[in-house]
Structure 1
Amino acid sequence: MNKIKISTKYNKTAKLLVIFIVVFTTLNFQSCAELDPDPLEFNLPPEVFSNLDEMDKGISGIYSKIVNASRWTTFYAPAWAGDDMTTWASGNKADFREFDQRNVQASNSRLLSNWNAILDVINTTNSVLDRSKGLENLAVDQDLLNRYIGETHFIRGIMFYQLARVHGRIPLPLTTIPDPNISRATQLEVFQQIEADLLEAEKRLPNVYPSLKEGASRPNKGSAKSILARLYMDWAGFPLKDNSKYTDAANIAKTVIDNASTYKFGLVDDLENLWTVAGRFNNESVFTLTYCNSCGDDRIANWKYGIVGLNDSAGGWSETFGEIKFYEDFPTGPRKEATYRMDLDWRNFSSAKDQKSPIFKKIAGPKGDLPNSFITNRNDFFMRYAEVLLIYAEASARSGAVTADSWEALNKIRRRASGLPFATPDATVDLSSGDLAELAFTERKWEFAGEYLRWYDLMRLERVQEVLGNRTPSGTIAEHNQIAGSLSTDNYFSPIPAEALNNNPNLGN
């Protein structure tokens, strides 16, 4: 795939934010008619917003930049380091292979593209927040203003979080024109800033954002709480290892569970429906990144699915595959069938360019559901309600506060994985004893396979050496991308991109 070229934001000119608000007339792309016909047209906003319409346009610009950042697989590329996913062992996938093989170089172009694109979103949120100052003193709808401010903090928080999961210590620009010589914050400061943004969002956002389809394509109070729970799980793990955060994770996840109907969250009955175009809006997603290929503009479509997950014989681009041992170990049943394309006999692929690797249904789509293209209508589920349930189960166990509700949270996921009604107890799959923390951790392994999450689970519990050091399949086909770098904790985070470091040496501190 072609690489996005975005200018480095931390250079000596400090003129990175020459007012770039890209305006969409809607943010959730729910119909073609609602889209601006030219989503890359630049408008010049006032230095201070004079009304809420101007602020709404500013927020539209934020979402357009999120689409620009996230429509490529680059946004999730570091997660190839997990034991669930791999890429083509040859061809033009060298940048992806570096993550897969734990040998990421500072010159990796995907690393730089992701760095620049995410910071572009963050800088836009800072611009919107700065320009909104003073609106509280005007005769505007204060509830709507609160919602907009909360939404902007939410986006800034999750973008800081996305970048921190890749690099660990990152800079924290909080002003419209950031310091060109900014240094990286400490890991604690990074987590505290993400927490502060999400708490501000949780305070200001409504229980449900009005006039949207299912899946919170604009965040609500439950969206902020859910991602806070995920943050606290990472905070409790490597590198800070603050075990007290397990209690925080359990408590806030339980709040989301207890108020799921208020936030319009829940599990879908059939896991496979999540990976269909028809299921792109659903109440299991607690925050959805939305795209729209059918709107007639490729720039607002999703470029990560379809043929990027297929082999050469199927007309694919051989970009994202499943790892063999992980596939072999995956328990048989409806969940495995919803995760992989069981109709494709990957062991007997015959083209000279074919790599004998399992095909993810989550990436390639169910047979016949996606067009023969890499440009699709699929949405991204930034976080699913299933994760909230498993966070509660694991965190309550690791904090020593297991309850019947903790087991029920785990069992709902287990029932659905077996094709059973998730809300109905079933003695054939339900558990009520054992190491709940490890059971929930393992359940996450299977539930989120191919969703770019496994690597971060291995990292937070320091299981990288244990898991990636044992990737030998049982059959005659070996894993295609062998580990080339260190599996120790000093290689968990990716380096700062070389170009960014050259422009600002303080990022090396």
Structure 2
Amino acid sequence: MKNNIFILLLLFLSASCSDSFLENAPEDSLVVDNYYNTNEQVKSAGAPLYGYPWFYFNEKFLICVGDNYSGNSTGTYSDIAQFTLFSVNQGNQFATEGWDALYNVIGTANTLLYNLDTKVSGDVDEDVLESVRGEAYFMRATAYYYLVRTWGAVPIIHSMDQYNAEADVYRNTVEDVYTFILNDYAMAASRVPIQRADSEVGRVTQTACNAMMASVYLTLKDYANAKAQAELVINSGYYGLLDKFGDVFHPRNNNSRESIFALQWVANQGWGYANVNQAYLAASPKLTNAGDGWGTFQPSIDFQNAFEDGDLRRHETIMEPGDFYPDLVTAEGGYTVPEAGMTSTMAGWRKYVVGSKDEWEDVGFMSTNLNTYIIRYAEVLLIHAEAILGTSASTTDAKALESFNMVRKRAGLAEKTSLTFDDILQERRMEFAVEGKYWYDLARMDRTKAIAIISNQERGDYNDGDYDDIITRKVTPSAGDFLLPIPGSEADLNPLLLEEPVPFDFNN
């Protein structure tokens, strides 16, 4: 059976960024055999893993799944609306792009591992070689973590032999995919350094592996291991929350003390290298002054109503009528949201909106250099609190409360003296909106409860800007909606993807 699912990327994708490890890409991107001769060449071989292969994952897929599917966000474009209405089909453009992107990350990682095994000069230091190998394991694990939570059983592609056009490719069981993920993170953790030099800030560290393993264990309801991995991060002393929530989402704070692992983008260097989220999240072209700012994604009514009174994150997450932003449209002294609102839900997204060149030089049409957070310290704190709670109805554990209340304190909210799962779920929803988290939280919880939460969400619009007149839109998902269908283009090329998943041979 021909395997046409995967596109092998060239390992050496050109990338450049001043004062960044990304600037060390090879001058001749096609001369692979003559490239792995020095420490710097091997280090630069890992740099493309941090951006380009992830592009279409980041462009719309992550928000579509993580936020539109979960009810945080809405959108009228047909393939986005499918997520809002729980009608995603096999031909959905953005689901297919997400699948392709994640397997491109895996293909890039597999290619790098192969080249490190076969093409490296004896002049390369072993610690450098192992560190870059660890980066490849980490990226492969992270791609599979998104794949298994989105589609369930998926093919584990780990060897160059599997890219043979005649190879049979089956899906592997969910249990084996998770085992493979944890194995890859463990292999990464044993190879990458504890800390990075200033020239390599943003590259994978041991604590990034710990943080991702904490998330995986939490998803698997292995609370003891989730707690242990989260505490490795917390006790490392390397991380902390920024003082102001809004500062987390500005490029000047890329790779700050709050960032544990983030995708790294380069502005104005061509399609595929920049973060394009601002183009779709900014609800007015005046905000970007670059020809975009389309408001493609809009904060849902349900999400707007979910904020507690006094939550400082509200102003830095969504833009509502009358809100003033002195740091946007600075050429006119700031920006006030019109009383008529910005979208059919009245509000627009503030998070991930950088502004125009007047506010930040590295802005262009569909282009900023703002990192995309995959996991940051606030999440590790909330993972830690939830892992201590475990299966209990509530907890007053001091350590759980300390971690949880650090996040609430920054948000300007009163500390809690007792925690439930609902408390943590609410905090995660408000903290991580449009970071692609909430759907995966709903999907890992009790299915009946998740369906009840979703069924009560208002996913509609305000009628002609009238807050008292809602064009209501509510949906009730089925159990089958908690996994997306395998993209039709992939199933057509390889019908084996529609057969029952098989165990993975870990001895192969």
TM bin, normalised by shorter chain, reads 0.7 to 0.9
Once the two structures are TM-superposed, the CA of residue 376 in structure 1 deviates from its matched residue by 1.7
Q: Does 1:86 align with 2:70?
A: no
> 1:89-488 alignment to 2 at 5 Å?
89=76, 93-133=77-117, 138=122, 140-178=124-162, 180-212=167-199, 216-236=201-221, 245-259=222-236, 261=237, 264-293=238-267, 296-306=269-279, 308-311=281-284, 316-333=293-310, 334-342=312-320, 343=323, 345=337, 348-349=340-341, 354-365=343-354, 369=359, 373-398=365-390, 403-418=397-412, 429-433=414-418, 435-461=419-445, 462=447, 463-472=449-458, 475-478=467-470, 482-483=474-475, 487-488=477-478
2 CA distance for matches of 1:35 and 1:480? 52
Question: 1:21 aligns to what?
Answer: 11
Question: 1:66 aligns to what?
Answer: 53
| 1:58-98 deviations in Å (ceiling 9; x for gaps) | 323433533534451234421221121111x2xxx211111
Query: Residues 366 and 59 from structure 1, CA distance in 2 versus in 1: closer, same or farther, beyond 3 angstroms?
Result: closer
| 1:14-72 deviations in Å (ceiling 9; x for gaps) | 9954x72224466x76469936698xx75142399565555434323433533534451
2 CA distance for matches of 1:376 and 1:479? 35
Query: Residues 101 and 311 from structure 1, CA distance in 2 versus in 1: closer, same or farther, beyond 3 angstroms?
Result: farther
Any conservation in 2 of the 1:289–1:380 contact (CA below 8 Å)? Answer: yes
Question: 1:240 aligns to what?
Answer: none
SS in 1 for 2:91: coil
2 CA distance for matches of 1:75 and 1:29? 27
Query: Residues 298 and 107 from structure 1, CA distance in 2 versus in 1: closer, same or farther, beyond 3 angstroms?
Result: closer
Name the amino acid aligned to 1:194: I
Number of matched residues? 463
Any conservation in 2 of the 1:23–1:43 contact (CA below 8 Å)? Answer: no
Question: 2:486 aligns to what?
Answer: 496
1 CA distance for matches of 2:80 and 2:382? 29
Query: Residues 508 and 369 from structure 1, CA distance in 2 versus in 1: closer, same or farther, beyond 3 angstroms?
Result: farther
Query: Residues 33 and 409 from structure 1, CA distance in 2 versus in 1: closer, same or farther, beyond 3 angstroms?
Result: closer
Name the amino acid aligned to 1:374: M
Any conservation in 2 of the 1:151–1:219 contact (CA below 8 Å)? Answer: yes
Question: 2:504 aligns to what?
Answer: none
SS in 2 for 1:362: coil
Once the two structures are TM-superposed, the CA of residue 139 in structure 1 deviates from its matched residue by 5.1
Question: 2:506 aligns to what?
Answer: none
Name the amino acid aligned to 2:439: W
- Aligned-pair Cα RMSD in Å: 3.2
Once the two structures are TM-superposed, the CA of residue 348 in structure 1 deviates from its matched residue by 2.1
Once the two structures are TM-superposed, the CA of residue 277 in structure 1 deviates from its matched residue by 3.1
2 CA distance for matches of 1:390 and 1:204? 27
Name the amino acid aligned to 1:437: F
Any conservation in 2 of the 1:275–1:366 contact (CA below 8 Å)? Answer: no
| 1:154-194 deviations in Å (ceiling 9; x for gaps) | 01110111222221111110112425421111110111111
Any conservation in 2 of the 1:11–1:504 contact (CA below 8 Å)? Answer: yes
Once the two structures are TM-superposed, the CA of residue 446 in structure 1 deviates from its matched residue by 1.5
Name the amino acid aligned to 1:95: D
Any conservation in 1 of the 2:36–2:121 contact (CA below 8 Å)? Answer: no
SS in 2 for 1:478: strand
TM-score (norm 2): 0.82
2 CA distance for matches of 1:477 and 1:374? 34
SS in 1 for 2:196: coil
TM-score (norm 1): 0.82
Name the amino acid aligned to 2:73: M
Name the amino acid aligned to 1:63: Y
Name the amino acid aligned to 2:131: R
SS in 1 for 2:415: coil
Question: 1:5 aligns to what?
Answer: none
SS in 1 for 2:97: helix
Any conservation in 2 of the 1:151–1:201 contact (CA below 8 Å)? Answer: yes
Once the two structures are TM-superposed, the CA of residue 449 in structure 1 deviates from its matched residue by 2.1
Name the amino acid aligned to 2:240: G
Question: 2:23 aligns to what?
Answer: 34
Question: Which structure is higher in strand share?
Answer: 2
| 1:90-119 deviations in Å (ceiling 9; x for gaps) | xxx211111121111001122222211221
Any conservation in 2 of the 1:166–1:493 contact (CA below 8 Å)? Answer: yes
Query: Residues 325 and 69 from structure 1, CA distance in 2 versus in 1: closer, same or farther, beyond 3 angstroms?
Result: closer
Query: Residues 448 and 33 from structure 1, CA distance in 2 versus in 1: closer, same or farther, beyond 3 angstroms?
Result: closer
Query: Residues 197 and 143 from structure 1, CA distance in 2 versus in 1: closer, same or farther, beyond 3 angstroms?
Result: same
Any conservation in 2 of the 1:97–1:481 contact (CA below 8 Å)? Answer: no
| 1:192-225 deviations in Å (ceiling 9; x for gaps) | 1111111111111111122347xx5211000010
1 CA distance for matches of 2:314 and 2:275? 24
Name the amino acid aligned to 2:416: L
Once the two structures are TM-superposed, the CA of residue 313 in structure 1 deviates from its matched residue by 8.4
Name the amino acid aligned to 1:407: L
2 CA distance for matches of 1:335 and 1:116? 34
2 CA distance for matches of 1:480 and 1:30? 49
Any conservation in 1 of the 2:278–2:293 contact (CA below 8 Å)? Answer: no
